[in-house]
Each structure stands twice: as structure tokens, then as C-alpha cells.
Chains A and B, each alone.
Chain A
Amino acid sequence: MTLPQPQRMSAANLYLPKQVRIRRIIRETHDVRTFQLEFVNPADGAAFSYNVGQFGEFSLFGVGESTFNISSSPTWKGYFECCFRDVGLVTSQLAKLKEGDILGFRGPYGNWYDLDKLKGKDLVFAAGGIGFPPVRCLIWNVLHEREKYGSIVVVHGARTSGDLVYQRELAEWSKRPDMHVVKTVDPGGEPEDWDGETGFVPTVLEERVPWILEREGKGVENALAFTCGPPVMINFVIKSLTRMGFGLEQIHLTLENKMKCAVGKCGRCNIGNTYVCLEGPIFTAAQVAEMPKDA
């Protein structure tokens, strides 16, 4: 699958953010929050559009900028979302904000999923922890026109049951007859009343997904996989998918390198000669296999 590339952008105000207001805060877990955002200036909102899988630079003035995936579906109008874990200098301060507070936003940046190439395919999503948002935006976008796609399987895992993000959405999707949801926690992370799987995402993926597809009379030849999570998880997910028969071109991943400028100038996100901000953040596993171990 060839991935579309960003459009040209005008020279003015390359690093000057627009202002967005926090419309709603959703506490996904004890340390993960979703911000629903709307533009302060309606004209900025009217001019804004994005494609599924792109990212932005979110800033808290006086603290700094962070890079997050735009975790909402482009089909949702009037607002967009980001989702972050309280872990670093900027995110720990973002976590203190209230609804109505204002952020800076630059974007969208990076490439995106070409949905036309996904239509008619069976879709397998495998996400770990805070790696779920870059996959979740695509799931919602696909569900917007559910009938145009084949089977849908979602595997989401986290260290503990309390670290699973989008739990209410997982519950909602679990009730749907037209998709399969598998939630899992790392061994030891399950509470007594745990109703999901126990095991690491790559393991659970390999145990459950072939069986689910087989039950629907499907193999993996018409499937595409989408993954994001910690680097070590992604590596093992690719191995699991490969053993299941997926070709490397069928596997897509979102790389989340440290970035500052998002436009190929600050020199931070490169893996070998590949600037993640310019050519990514979405790559096929075939592309990643050609990259040096620099990420």
C-alpha cells in the first residue's frame, strides 16, 4: 500500500500555533487523558481538516510542545481529540488543565491511511497501552462506513486492567456483532474479576486472531494489520503477524519518535535517513525492515 504524502504548506508562520480550547476532558485511566479540542477562532476551525493517522504539535505556553497523534476520526465534526499519558515535562503539566483551558496546536502533519486501499479488506488492529490512540482513530473512521470493510478484529493490551485506554469504547465495540474485541493485560496485571485475556499483546494476537478469522471463513491473505505501542511490543507483534502468514506489506505501524518541529528541520526524529515527521508516522513493516536499528 502506498501512503499519501503531506501537501505543501505556505511559508508564513511555520512554528506559530493556532489556539484550541479544551471542550471536554475524559479520564481514560489514572494517567491517560483525552482532550476534546475546538478552535478558539472559528475561522481556524473552518480552515482545519485532517486525515486519519496524522499528528499534531500540542503546546502549553510556558511549558512547551508535545507531539501527539490526532486520535479522533476525521468524520467527527466540530472538534478533534488527542490522548496522552502523564509521563513527561509537558504532559505532566497538560494533565493539570481543566475544561475551558487553552492550548496551542500546529498541524496536521505527516502521512495518513488511504481508506480506499482498506476497503473490502479484513482489518486487524493490535495496540498496546498509549499506543492505542493512533489505531483507534482509524477504527472509528472505518466504523463510519462499516459495510465497506471485511472483518474487524481489535486487540488491545496494557500492563494492567487499569491501564487499558478507551474502556467504554471497548465495551461498546464488544457488543457489536460486526467486530471482535480482545482485551488483554500483561500477566500479573489482571484483577480478580478480570473478564479479558491475560498475556502480552503479541502472544494473545497470535492465539486469538487466526481462530477469529477462521470462524468467519477468512484467512490472512485479504487482511491488513495496524499496530502501535511500545517499540518492543511492535517488534514482537510484527513477528507474530509474520508467523500468522501476514506479509510485511500488510502490516502498518505508527512510529512515535521524539519530535520538535514536525516539518523535517529540527533533526530529531530520523531513523537512518528516514525522517518520521516527513515520510511517516505511518510505515509498513516492509519499510521498517529496511531501516537501521536506530529507533
Chain B
Amino acid sequence: MSVRGYIRPERLWQMVDRLSTAGLRVVAPTTVDGLCQFGVVTAANQVVTDYLLPQNTFKEFLFPKQEQVFTYLRNGDGSYLLTEPRRAFPETVVLGARPCDTVGIMGSLAAVFGGDKWGYEDPLFTERRRVTTVVSFSCDRPDISCFCTTQGLGPDDPKGSDVLITRTEGDAPVCVVEVFSARGEALLDHLGDLVAADRDASGLALARKQAGALARERFVRVFDISQVKTFLDNPGNFDDEMFERLGTKCVSCGVCTFECPTCHCFDFQDVGAPGSGERIKIWDSCQLPDFTLHASGHQPRKTSWERYRNRFLCKFKIYEDAFEALGCTGCGRCVRDCPVHVDITSYAMQANKKQQLVQIGA
């Protein structure tokens, strides 16, 4: 059984102090630029405790917004001194991750940046992943944009988590601690007596299961996606009318991609003079017009709706085909924060409906 005990709700965020004192870098929901975002914290009082999903995901702690790949310095003979930065990846604990983000980052992004499928491993990601422990908190109050249950996950899904903490319902709630990996076991040592073990584990497990079931019932954005992949697997549907109709209003701001737990696109940029400078790996977005623009002027995706079609395909087909991973975890950020209300779930619902109509011969 994965249950190891419980933490009293009022002591939950004392984990920050314990882990920080133990010398670990702690990432948790905090206030960054006036918004609730995942950031580095050193004490419990820096944490935003009343949150559903921070504005960002914690992917930037494994796949930074920008980072140096190497520096270059031209020698007298015209050759270059290429130097990789001293990369000291600190042991990091992500506290309060949500299951959707955890699956997206520790599962899907790891599938892209790892080398299992295609043989190329990006150590900038995988080395960080090796020193990252994720403590996810189950959700109890999904909002109207959440749809993780539709994507085959759930508010208490432990996939990818080293530790999952679920707050039970009722008059005297406790935060049930479950451990799913050796990293999670090691983390418990740092938490010490914060995790009480004076209650029957099977009772805690039952209460935790009930809490998860109740949370599931609170989802409102629930729909059938069983036919979406079949719809997208048909090359003829690439030209379906829905893509232009739903996507024309997209303004190509890219916010859906930067906030997404599974979006992995990046660019290299050289910063500096010809004789000295650095090459950086920096987030990019398939929604931006110059993303696929060739030097010749050839542009495979000329319009915003063609670019959003790529995003929808990436989430519901390409990720699965190319990386055998889940493309969309249903976190809902791209629905919640799109300035013009482009809604990926309406794409999925309409694709599903169109395929159903094909199957009944309508």
C-alpha cells in the first residue's frame, strides 16, 4: 500500500521549512510578478496556499525559459573556445504540483527530451529530472476549465508523482501521504514527524479514495474524446472545415503554448558579438508566425488557424504517434487564459462528434 501516514492540514506547508532546512531547493506556488506562480521558496509563509493551478507550470524548472548551451570565444588563430557552463543542478522538490502538470512534465516532456524512443537524450532536461522530486497535491475543487478526467487522468492521479498528498473531506480533514518511488521514500526521511503514522493506513486509504471520487464528481467539463484520434488519423480530415472555423480568431500570442505542461518547442539563439557570446536554448511556440517560415519565404503554416490546427494535432495525435506520450493532460490553462477564447476542448468535442457521425453512417 502506498499510504505512509498523514499531515495535519495546518502543518502541510511546514514541509517547505523542513525541506529547505535540509538543503533542498523547494519549488511551490508563490507570488511572482503579482501572480500565483511556481517559484523557489524557502519558508512556508512565502507559499500561496489557496490556489488551483499557478499561472505557469513547473516545467521551467526542468526546461528553463532560456538557458545557456555554451559560450564561444574566438581564439587568435580563428578557432573558438566553446565552453559549457558549469551546470550544478540542485536537488529540487516541487511541492503542490497538480496531477495534470506532473503527468505532462514528468511523463510527456520527459518522453520528448529523453532518448527512449529516438535515441537522442537532452541532458539539459534529463539531468534536472534526475534530481527532481515531485510532491503532487490532489485537486478537490476543479474549475470550469479543468478537464483532466476527460483526458484519462484525474484530480488524484498519482502518475509521475513521487509523493501524492490528498486532503480528505469531512469535519476533521487530514492530508493523506502516499509514496510512489524511491525518491519519495527518501523525501519522507526529511519530513520526519510531520508525517504522522498513528492512524490505520487502510482507513486513510479509504478516506483518500473517497476524497478523490468526490473531486471527480465536481468536474463540469466532461466530454467524450474516444473518437478524436480516429478522426485525426484520417489524413483527409486535415482539411476539415472545423479548423478554419474555430481557429481564425486566434491572434497567435502563444500564451497557450507557454503555459502548457507538455509544449516543448524551443529555438537556439546566439547572443553576443562574432568573437564572443553565448548560444541559448529558449522557449519558442508553434503559434508564432515565423516558427516554420523558411529563409526562402516558403511558409507551411501561413495563418493562425493552420498553426492552431498543428497545436491541436500535436496534443491529440502527434504526441502519441511520435513520442508515445499523452499530449494534453487537461489542465485547462489554454482554455482559461486564451485572450480570444480559442478552446481546444471545442476542437476535441467537434472532432469526436464528426467521427461519431461517420460511424453511424450519417
Set A14, A19, A292: member contacting B80, Cβ < 8 A: A19
Complex interface residues of chain A between 234 and 293 (CB less than 8 A to chain B): 257-258, 260-261, 263-268, 270-275, 278, 290-293
Say whether B118 contacts A278, CB under 8 Å.
yes
B272 touching A273, Cβ below 8 Å: no
The residues of A that contact B264 with a CB separation of less than 8 Å are 265-267
Max count, chain B CB within 10 A of own CB: residue among A16, A66, A273 = A273
Cross-chain contact A11 with B115 (CB below 8 angstroms): yes
B69 touches A61 (CB 8 A): no
- Which of these, B70, B121, B274, B322, contacts A270 with CB under 8 Å? B322
Q: Would you call the interface of chain A mostly helix, strand, loop, or mixed? A: loop
Whether B80 pairs with A231 at a CB distance below 8 angstroms is no
- In the complex, the answer to whether A263 meets B296 with C-beta atoms within 8 Å is no
Mark contacts of B114-146 with chain A using CB atoms, 8 A cut-off: 1 yes-contact digit, 0 otherwise. 010011111110100000000000000000000
B82 adjacent to chain A (CB < 8 Å): yes
CB nearest neighbor in B for A63: B270
Per-residue CB contact flags for chain B residues 262-297 toward chain A (1 = under 8 Å, else 0) read: 011111111011110101010010100001111110
Which of B273, B291, B321 has a CB less than 8 Å from the CB of A62? B273
- In contact, A88 and B270 (Cβ under 8 angstroms): no
Does residue A171 face the partner (Cβ distance < 8 Å to B)?
Answer: no
Residues on B with beta carbons closer than 8 Å to the beta carbon of A291:
235
Q: Is the CB of A64 within 8 A of B270?
A: yes
Q: Are B318 and A64 in contact (CB under 8 A)?
A: no
Give chain B nearest CB distance to A38 CB in angstroms. 12
- Decide if A101 is an interface residue (CB 8 Å cutoff): yes
A residues less than 8 Å from B263 (CB atoms): 267
Interface residues on chain A, number (Cβ under 8 Å): 57
A266 to B122, CA, bound (A): 11
A65 touches B268 (CB 8 A): yes
Q: Mark A1-31, 1 if CB is under 8 A from B, else 0.
A: 0000011111111111101010000000000
Closest to A294 in B: B300
Residue of A nearest to B300 (CB): A295
Q: Determine whether the beta carbon of A102 is less than 8 Å from that of B78.
A: yes
By the criterion CB–CB under 8 Å, are B82 and A16 in contact? Answer: yes
B80 adjacent to A102 (CB under 8 Å): yes
Nearest A residue to B233, CB-CB: A273
Tell yes or no: B208 within 8 A of A by CB. Answer: no
Asked if B79 is at the interface of the complex by the 8 Å CB criterion, the answer is yes
- 12 inter-chain pairs at a CB distance below 8 angstroms, sorted by A residue, are A8-B119, A9-B115, A11-B126, A19-B82, A64-B270, A90-B295, A230-B298, A268-B265, A268-B284, A272-B235, A278-B118, A292-B238
13 more CB-based (< 8 A) A-B contacts, given A7-B119, A11-B126, A62-B270: A11-B122, A14-B120, A14-B121, A16-B69, A61-B80, A62-B72, A87-B296, A257-B294, A258-B294, A267-B265, A267-B284, A268-B284, A270-B314
4 shortest interchain CB distances as A-B pairs: A88-B295, A267-B265, A8-B119, A292-B238
